[in-house]
Structures are given as C-alpha cells and as structure tokens.
Amino acid sequence: MAEKRKILLIDDDRDFLMATKLILEKNGYEVLTAENGKAGVDAIRSASPDLAIVDMMMETWGEGFSVISEVRAMEGGKDLPLIILSGVDLQGPYQSFEPSEQFPRVDLILHKPVKADDLIKHVKALLG
C-alpha cells in the first residue's frame, strides 16, 4: 500500500481537533496537529504535510489568516493545498470572506461542523 498522505490540522480547540483527526485517520490519512498558528507554521516547515486544514479564528481573530500568509510566503508553501475550516459564518468581518486579491489564496473554505463525507470528498479532490 502506498505511503499515507499527511494532513496537518491547526485549531486551538483540542476537542474539535481530536474529532476531525479521528475522521481523517479512519479514512486512511496520517494526521498531525497543532494548537496554535505558530506551531502550525513550524509543523509545515518541519513535517512538510501534503495538505493543511486551518481554523480561521484561533486565540486572536485572524490568526488563521496569518498562518496562511506565512505559508504562502515560505519556500515551497505556494502550492500547498490549504483548507480554511471556519466557525465564524455568522457575523464579523469574515462573514462574506471570499479569497480575493488582498487575501492569500486558499483552496477551499468549509464551515464548522463539517460532515465527514464532505470533508473526505474535498480532501480527496485536493490531494488528487
């Protein structure tokens, strides 16, 4: 069997992280986790995952965005598939967030909670 594809989850809610991790692992992926933006960026550097799923609103508003900006700016980070998993679809400045010129590119925005089937479908599509 081919080597497992590696997915990095970045989210400051440990329980949410665990739930998502289990869904991905059950579907045959290797899962790394990071509980804040900085640890996430470090993990992308050191473990070179095949895909990263980033919570948009961690400790501070927009921490997810700084992760994405940093990743896109780092060597080899330009093409890393990135999914935003957002809990803030209700209100605030990100309500109508769509990747645009001002924002670094993300591949997909999903909303919490995410159905396992949806998540896997999108991950599969992004990992080819």
Partner 1 sequence: MPMSYESQEDLVLIIDDEETIRDGCRQVLEKSGYDVITTGDGSEGIRIAREQKPNLVFVDLNLPGMSGLEVIDILLADIPHIVLVVITGYASIVSAVESMKRGAYDYLPKPFTPDQLRAVTKRGLDHHALIIEAERLRAAQEEMARDFITFVSHEMRSPLMTVQQSLESLRVVAGDCLSDEANQIIERCEKRIRNLEDLVEHWLNIRQIEEGTLIRDKGILNIADILLHSMEDMAPLCEKRGIVLKSDIPEDLPAITGDRESLVRVFVNIIGNATKYTPAGGTISIRARHDDYHVHVAISDTGRGIPKDKIPFIFEPFYRVKERGEHIEGSGLGLTFCKRIMDAHAGKIEVSSEEGRGTTFNLRFPR
Q: Which residues bind partner 1 (CB under 8 A)?
A: 13, 15-16, 18-20, 22-23, 26-27, 87, 90-91, 112-116
CB of 45 vs partner 1, minimal distance in Å: 27
100 is written with which tokens?
């645009």
Beta strand segments in 17-79, E: 30-34, 51-55
Q: Which amino acid is at 22?
A: L
- Between 62 and 104, whose beta carbon lies closer to partner 1? 62
C-alpha–C-alpha distance, residues 94 and 61, integer Å: 10
CB of 19 vs partner 1, minimal distance in Å: 4
- Between 104 and 110, whose beta carbon lies closer to partner 1? 110
C-alpha–C-alpha distance, residues 1 and 95, integer Å: 42
- Between 1 and 90, whose beta carbon lies closer to partner 1? 90
CB of 15 vs partner 1, minimal distance in Å: 5
7 backbone dihedrals φ, ψ, rounded to 5°: -120, 135
- Between 51 and 114, whose beta carbon lies closer to partner 1? 114
Please report how the helices 116-127 and 14-26 are oriented relative to each other, as an axis angle in degrees rounded to 10: 70
CB of 77 vs partner 1, minimal distance in Å: 27
